[in-house]
C-alpha cells in the first residue's frame, strides 16, 4: 500500500494511466544497484530516488574532485574529497527520505559483485571502464537480472537495455567483444556536462520502465546521441547465438 505522504509525493506520476498505483508499488518494492556514482550515476540516482525506488545501492570507490563539479550534479565544493557513493547517497536521502540508500565506497568485484547483482531488481551500469562493464554483464546474465547500460564521452552518448529474462535480448558482450576494446576516460578525451545528464536521465527512465512494466524498454536496440548535431540514432541489436556469455 501507499501512504498518504507517498500518494502526495508521487502524485504527478500516479496520474499517468500506464503507470498508476501499480507501477508505483513496483518501484517501491524494487532494489536498484547503481554501479558508478559519477556523471551518469548522479542523474540516475537522483531521478530514481525522487521517483520512489524503494531501495538503492550506490557503488563507487572514487572521491569527489574539483574536475567532477562540471558535470556530476549531486556534488558541490563542500563534498570535495568525500566518497562519491556516500555523498550521492546523502543527496538522494535529502530529496526523498523514504528511499533506503546504501553506499559502497569500494570497488565491487568477484563474489561481492555477483551477490549484489543477484539481490537487485535492475542493475544500472554507470561505469567508465570495460572491465567492470563485462563483469556486470556476466553477473546479470548469470542472475537473470536486467542491465541498463549507458556511456558518454566527448559529446557522444549511447545506451541500451539488456534483459536476460527475454529470449530475444542480446547481452553487452553481443555488442562488444572483450578483446580489442580500450578504455577512454573523460580526463583524456573530455566530455560535455549536459551530455551525461541526458544519458543518465534516459537510463533512469528505462529503469523505471523495466521495473514498472510500462512502455517498451530499449531491449535489442542501441540508442546513440550526437549532442553536437542533437541527433538521436537507433541501431537494432541481435543476440549472438555464439556469444560466450549468453549464447546457447
- The CATH number covering residue 14 comes to 3.40.50.720
Q: Rounded mean pLDDT of 8-24?
A: 97
pLDDT (mean) for 223-245: 96
223 part of a folded domain: yes
Beta pairing class for 156-162 and 221-226: antiparallel
**Is 245 domain-assigned?**
no
Q: What is the pTM of this model?
A: 0.96
**pLDDT tens-digit map of 36-76:** 999 999 999 999 999 999 999 999 999 999 999 999 999 99
- Find the mean pLDDT for residues 92-103: 98
- Domain span holding position 9: 4-236
> Quick one: pLDDT at residue 184?
60
13 within some domain? yes
The model's pLDDT over 142-184, given as tens digits with 9 standing for 90+, comes to: 999 999 999 999 999 999 999 999 999 999 999 998 876 665 6
The reply to whether 96 falls in a domain is yes
Q: Which three cell numbers stand for residue 33?
A: 544497484
Share of the chain above pLDDT 90, in %: 92
pLDDT at 208 over 80: yes
pLDDT value at residue 186: 67
Number of domains the chain is built from: 1
247 domain residue, yes or no: no
* Residue 216 and residue 137 in contact, taking contact as beta carbons nearer than 8 Å: no
| DSSP state letter for 191 | B
Q: Is residue 194 part of a domain?
A: yes
Return the closest-CA partner of residue 98 out of 26, 19, 6. 6
Question: Are 241 and 247 contacting, i.e. CB atoms less than 8 angstroms apart?
Answer: yes
**pLDDT reported for residue 177:** 85
Q: Let me know: does 59 contact 40? Beta carbons within 8 Å.
A: no
Lowest mean pLDDT among 52-56, 94-98, 127-131, 136-140: 127-131
Q: What pLDDT score does 181 carry? A: 62
Is 221 contained in some domain?
Answer: yes
Does 244 fall in a domain? no
Amino acid at each position: 500500500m501507499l501512504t498518504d505522504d507517498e500518494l502526495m509525493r508521487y502524485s504527478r506520476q500516479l496520474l499517468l494511466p500506464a503507470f498508476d498505483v501499480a507501477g508505483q508499488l513496483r518501484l517501491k518494492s524494487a532494489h536498484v544497484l547503481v554501479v558508478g556514482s559519477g556523471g551518469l550515476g548522479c542523474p540516475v540516482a537522483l531521478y530514481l530516488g525522487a521517483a520512489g525506488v524503494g531501495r538503492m545501492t550506490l557503488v563507487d570507490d572514487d572521491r569527489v574532485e574539483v574536475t567532477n563539479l562540471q558535470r556530476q550534479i549531486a556534488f558541490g565544493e563542500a563534498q570535495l574529497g568525500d566518497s562519491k557513493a556516500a555523498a550521492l547517497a546523502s543527496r538522494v536521502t535529502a530529496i526523498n527520505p523514504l528511499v533506503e540508500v546504501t553506499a559502497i565506497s569500494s570497488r565491487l568485484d568477484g563474489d561481492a559483485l555477483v551477490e549484489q547483482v543477484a539481490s537487485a531488481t535492475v542493475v544500472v551500469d554507470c561505469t567508465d571502464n570495460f572491465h567492470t562493464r563485462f563483469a556486470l554483464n556476466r553477473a546479470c546474465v548469470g542472475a537473470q537480472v536486467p542491465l541498463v547500460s549507458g556511456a558518454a564521452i566527448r559529446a557522444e552518448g549511447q545506451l541500451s537495455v539488456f534483459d536476460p529474462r527475454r529470449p530475444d535480448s542480446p547481452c553487452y558482450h553481443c555488442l562488444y567483444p572483450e578483446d580489442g576494446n580500450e578504455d577512454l576516460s573523460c580526463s583524456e578525451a573530455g566530455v560535455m556536462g549536459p551530455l551525461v545528464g541526458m544519458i543518465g536521465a534516459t537510463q533512469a527512465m528505462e529503469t523505471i520502465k523495466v521495473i514498472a512494466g510500462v512502455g517498451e524498454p530499449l531491449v535489442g536496440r542501441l540508442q546513440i546521441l550526437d549532442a553536437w548535431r542533437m541527433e538521436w540514432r537507433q541501431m537494432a541489436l541481435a543476440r549472438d547465438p555464439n556469444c560466450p556469455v549468453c549464447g546457447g
